Amino acid sequence: MAEAPFGLLAELTHRCPLQCGYCSNPVELVRREAELPTEDWLRVFDEARALGVLQIHLSGGEPLLRNDLPALVTHASSLGCYVNLVTSGVGLSRDRLQDLASRGVDHVQLSLQDATRAGNDRIAGIKAFDRKVEAAGFIRDLGLPLTVNTVLHRQNLDNVAGIIAAAEEMGADRLELANTQYYGWALRNRAALLPTSTQLAAAAPVVTAAQERLRGRMEIVYVIADYHEAHPKPCMYGWGARQLTVAPNGDVLPCPAATVISTLEIENVRDSSLHDIWHSSPSFGAFRGFEWMKDPCRSCSRKEVDFGGCRCQAFQLTGDAAATDPVCSLSPDRSTVDLILSAPAATTITMRKMS
């Protein structure tokens, strides 16, 4: 039997005021009328806690667009879970945050698209920078821990020093600098988002120096751009190992991008319990452990380090979710990634919108 999951990513909605072209949510977004109602989310939280979940991350889209967010926070907190609100900051007034904090929000994760007002608003597709700065002030005034999250790509990577400075100014306890992962809208815009090797080489020492300078004051997490690496990231620390995601329509996913694997049989909380899905479903069992692996992964000494890489990325690039992640230098499909890296860059980005 699989060990209990540690965290639940509750994607309450795909609706969002931002239009970021790097969004990893599906291109076909879940419509409002297909979202789980309040009572189903309350049951999901009950089942998650019974399963062993200790952290509930309320995300989207923009969770502030759910009118029942206060009730969901109250219930998640009453179960003894650590409640993390993942937000764009748009719509987060002082009074609203104070109410959510009184109901049990323990931590806020605030997105930042770039270091400056002009850059941030261009990438976000709306005027949002000032509202983010204001939201950070509310979070700081209420004494809540703050994580600032910035997705890095060709359009903002040259500004990484400024992004770090902006997070400092916001009073962040933690800064996540995560190079884009190419699913959903980000895959559609990959040619415009892929950073150059020169950009990555210039950014790395800036991040390292900031990590040293800010040690003990602001933690900086840097997620590598794995297309440019010799080995893939340890995606999710193994398939179905630590966390699970519930999508706005109730689909239960071993990782947030798992819907890209069209051959995967995905179950829904409307039909099955989280306990049964976590422990017994074909989707969660598909790539757990190491038995599913083919060579070179099966005989590789790194298999307990990177778990064969990303199954979603393997499927998108090879059509086989059990293939070695093509990012790996040992993969017979590594040339696919090299060809992508050598392709001409695009100049325009398709902005994410609800259709």
| Per-residue pLDDT reduced to its tens digit, 75-130 | 999 999 999 999 999 999 999 999 999 999 999 999 999 999 999 999 999 999 99
Domains of the chain in start order, with CATH, are 7-228 (3.20.20.70)
Report the b/e string of 221-236 with b at 16+ CB within 10 A.
ebeebbbbeebbbbbb
Is 297 labelled as part of a ligand binding site?
no
Q: How far apart are CA 146 and CA 164, in angstroms?
A: 14
For the cut 80, the answer to whether the pLDDT of residue 354 exceeds it is no
Planar angle of CA 268, 272, 273, nearest 5 degrees = 110
pLDDT tens figures, 265-280: 999 999 999 999 999 9
Distance CA(233)–CA(257), nearest Å, equals: 15
Give the E-state strand segments of the chain in sequence order. 7-11, 55-59, 82-87, 105-111, 146-152, 174-179, 219-223, 243-246, 252-253
pTM comes to: 0.96
Looking at residue 355, its pLDDT comes to 45
What mean pLDDT do residues 226-253 have?
93
User: Binding site annotation covers 328?
Assistant: no
Q: Is 23 marked as binding a ligand?
A: yes
